[in-house]
Amino acid sequence: MSDWQPGASIHNLRRRAQVMSLVRNFFANQSVMEVDVPVLSRSGVTDLNIDGICATLAGAPAYLQTSPEYFMKRLLASGSGDIYCLGKAFRDSEIGHKHNPEFTLLEWYRCGWDEHQLMSELGDLVSQLMNKPGASDLRVTKVSYADCFQDKFGLNPHQASLSDLQDLAAKAGSSSWAGETRANCLDLIFSLKVEPQLPEGLVFIYDYPECQAALAAITTAEQGYKVSRRFEGFLDGLEIANGYFELCDPVEQRRRFDQDNIARQAAGKPIWDIDAKLLDAMRSGLPACAGVALGLDRLLMSDLEVKSIDQVMPFSWLRC
């Protein structure tokens, strides 16, 4: 196929259009309002492992959004009620069979819900989207992050010592992992040893480690250690969604942003200005809510049973 032609077949593009339309119908039926928030912002994100793409607007930096989260939270704090956004997100240098630097993200927030209610709704949505005549119902499984590790390695990821995790990571990866952080070791072990063996269908992993809380609230588990109220969804082993019972405390949020920037600096990455407008919104009051982001391209890869993200997009970056 030539470079000027799309990576996806016209059949796949038709399916893509159909899924986007089904998503909008699903939320219209639930009375969740669509919001088309900007993709350009004066602020970037501080996430250690997510690098934004910076454009220039009238000589000043303008950041392409890595997700619609901050704008959506400002709407939630303004009394929007339940909202969803189906739009583009941008992440620098993420190129591979499962990654494209520009991709389509479906993100939504439910006020007054917790993460488990949101997982149920996500399960319903994916079941409806992938419901094909003659196919069996989508199998939905839920398992805690701790149980994944306990079953496979006989250790508790929240309580295991850093050196135990580093040993496990070095075994799974290469010797250079022996000095890595807790979060990096956990990511490596999970990606290489747990993810490839997840059962078929939709699998929710919940109660992520405290060190991987991102923007999720933190709670104390029955066993006494802290976990973050974050979950991820995997469809036939492919990561498709990441959700939180959202952190609403602006002081803790500020502390995490600062921590992010310290970690970025240590990693030799540029540090970003903190999004002051998001913090102002949180100070004025973010309603208790749960939110999740779902990669639409990944969902289509699973639905259409293709190996490369290039096959579900009109033009992946290789063809742009």
Partner 1 sequence: MANYSTNEFRSGLKVMLDNDPCSILENEFVKPGKGQAFNRVKLRNLKTGRVLDKTFKSGESLEGADVMDMDMQYLYSDGDFWCFMEPDTFEQHQATESAVSDALIWLSEQDICVVTLYNGIPLSVTPPNHVELEIVETDPGLRGDTAQGGSKPARLATGAVVKVPLFLDQGDVVKVDTRTGEYQGRVK
Closest CB 21 distance from partner 1, rounded Å: 25
Structure tokens, 181: 């952080």
- Binding to partner 1, residues 8-37 (CB under 8 A): none
Question: Number of C-alpha atoms within 13 angstroms, CB side, residue 11?
Answer: 4
Q: Could you tell me which stretch among 111-119, 131-139, 171-179, 272-280 binds partner 1 (CB under 8 A)? A: 171-179
What is the distance in angstroms between the CA of the first residue and the CA of the last residue of the chain?
Answer: 14
Amino acid found at 29: N
**Minimum gap (Å) between residue 105 Cβ and partner 1:** 10
The encoded tokens of residue 257 equal: 């942003």
Kindly indicate which of the ranges 90-98, 107-115, 117-125, 270-278 contains the residues binding partner 1, using the contact rule CB under 8 A: 90-98
Options 29, 56, 93, 136; binder of partner 1; rule CB under 8 A: 93
Q: Smallest gap, in angstroms, from Cβ of residue 24 to partner 1?
A: 24
Residues of this chain, 48-67, that bind partner 1 according to CB under 8 A: 49-50
CA 37 to chain centre: 18
**Distance from C-alpha of 153 to C-alpha of 171, rounded to nearest angstrom:** 12
Q: Which amino acid is at 178?
A: A
User: Could you identify the residue written with the tokens 């793409």?
Assistant: 53
Order of strands across the sheet that contains 53-57: 40-41, 60-64, 53-57
CA-to-CA distance for 245 and 167, rounded, in angstroms?
Answer: 32
**217 contacts 228 by C-beta, under 8 angstroms:** yes
Rounded least distance, CB 187 to partner 1, Å: 4
6 binds partner 1 (CB under 8 A): no
Interface with partner 1: number of residues (CB under 8 A): 30
Return the range that interacts with partner 1 (CB under 8 A); candidates 30-38, 47-55, 218-226, 280-288: 47-55
Instruction: Candidates 214, 248, 263, 279: give the one binding partner 1 (CB under 8 A).
Output: 214
The contact pattern for partner 1, residues 178-197, with x = CB under 8 A and - = no contact, is --x--xx--xx-xxx-----
Pseudo-torsion of CA 195, 200, 203, 205, nearest 10°? -30
What distance in Å separates the CA atoms of residue 232 and residue 142, rounded to the nearest whole number? 10
Identify which of residues 13 and 238 has a Cβ nearer to partner 1 in the complex.
238
Find the part of the chain contacting partner 1 (CB under 8 A) among 73-81, 151-159, 169-177, 250-258: 169-177
Residue 68 CB partners (closer than 8 Å, separation 6+): 35, 37, 85, 87, 89, 105, 107
Collapsing DSSP states into helix, strand and coil, what is residue 270? coil
Closest to partner 1 by CB, 30 or 167: 167
Q: Output 81 or 87, the one with its CB closest to partner 1.
A: 87
Among 176, 222, 224, 307, interactor with partner 1 by CB under 8 A: 176
**Max Cα distance, the chain (Å):** 58
The angle, 0 to 180 degrees and rounded to 10, between the axes of the packed helices 10-29 and 296-303 is 120
- Which residue of 177, 204, 206, 257 would you call a contact of partner 1, by CB under 8 A? 177
Q: Which residues in this chain contact partner 1 in the complex, by CB under 8 A? A: 47, 49-50, 93-99, 172-177, 180, 183-184, 187-188, 190-192, 212, 214, 232, 239, 242, 295
